Amino acid sequence: MIQLSTIKTWHVVISGFLQRQGAPNGMLSLATELHRTYAGPECMVEMRLWDESMAGLAEKIWLLRPQVGSRKSDVGGVCPVLQRTLSIVQARQHMDSCPTCQQRLARRRDAKASDLPAPTSDFPTTSDFPSIKIYGYSWGGAAAIRLAGELHKRGLPVDNLVLSDPVYRHWYWAGNWRAFWPFSKLYVPVNVARVDVFSQRQNLPSGHEVVALDPEQTIVTNRGVLGVNHQYMDDHPRFQNHALEVSK
């Protein structure tokens, strides 16, 4: 059986419409700098096109994740449900209603009361998940949100989205007229902790409003309207510098 490496940190850069990896552009420059700074045995830097399968990338990230529930415990076994990749909220909700988990918690309390070594905690902590940061421009911004949604299906949280003039992209081509409709919105799933958005209003397409599905879980910050056309938003120093700052 092949043993897969564990990746603890992911930086994913997603290019915009008409951008290709072989042509110089701001997103390629960002990916190159992130790769130079961070790429290593436990850190992966990925450059993706806006029209690639985000489900495939999410599956790769899931397969290479740190294993939740793999720690050995000295009192009792691990609930099988908690061996899956769950968010901390999902794990706690499960533990509240699971008889096996309740028995285990009771053993933990008894061990603590009798000064015996307590079993290792089974529910996921932040160290059980990879750190995932995604950077997107134009339709790559919409793709970044789709990737976050695919990661949410797999129970993986996202630390940051950094978006430059993100443009709505419909799920089928006939609906892409909405890319030029100013009232389209981009909805961020609840597994994303923070979103930083840069936009412009000089020409079309122009970045659409980014909305958190759950504002209590996701902080969306508008970092400013920049004075350049859409085609130059990925090269803008404010976006580039902020993305590098978030990457730390």
Least confident of 14-23, 69-78, 137-146, 218-227: 69-78
Answer whether residue 4 is part of any domain. Answer: no
Answer whether residue 177 is part of any domain. Answer: yes
Let me know whether 105 and 142 are in one domain: no
Per the CB < 8 A criterion, the answer to whether 145 and 124 are in contact is no
**DSSP at 155:** T
Distance CA 187, CA 211 (A): 5
Measured over the CA atoms of residue 35, residue 36, residue 37 and residue 42, the dihedral's sign is: positive
Boundary of a domain, candidates 111, 126, 141: 126
Answer whether residue 3 is part of any domain. Answer: no
| Across 165-175, average pLDDT | 79
Answer whether residue 2 is part of any domain. Answer: no
Let me know whether 196 and 234 are in one domain: yes
Let me know whether 213 and 184 are in one domain: yes
pLDDT in tens, 211-239: 999 999 999 999 999 999 999 999 999 99
pLDDT-derived band at 19 (thresholds 50, 70, 90) equals: confident
Amino acid in the structure at residue 230: H
Residue 159: domain span: 9-65+129-246
pLDDT at 234: 96
Let me know whether 105 and 148 are in one domain: no
- Runs of H (alpha helix) within the chain: 26-38, 54-63, 88-97, 99-113, 139-153, 237-246
Stated as kind and residue range, the H or E segment containing 223 is strand 219-225
Tokens 């290593």 -> residue? 40
| Across 54-58, average pLDDT | 96
Q: Report the relative pairing of strands 158-164 and 192-199 from DSSP bridges.
A: parallel
Per the CB < 8 A criterion, the answer to whether 163 and 43 are in contact is no
Boundary of a domain, candidates 126, 156, 172: 126
Answer whether residue 56 is part of any domain. Answer: yes
pTM: 0.76
pLDDT in tens, 103-155: 766 766 665 555 544 444 444 555 578 999 999 999 999 999 999 999 999 99
Let me know whether 87 and 145 are in one domain: no
Let me know whether 224 and 136 are in one domain: yes
Answer whether residue 1 is part of any domain. Answer: no
Give phi and psi for 239, each to the nearest 5. -65, -50
Domain count of the fold of the chain: 2
Let me know whether 140 and 241 are in one domain: yes
Q: Report the relative pairing of strands 219-225 and 209-212 from DSSP bridges.
A: unpaired
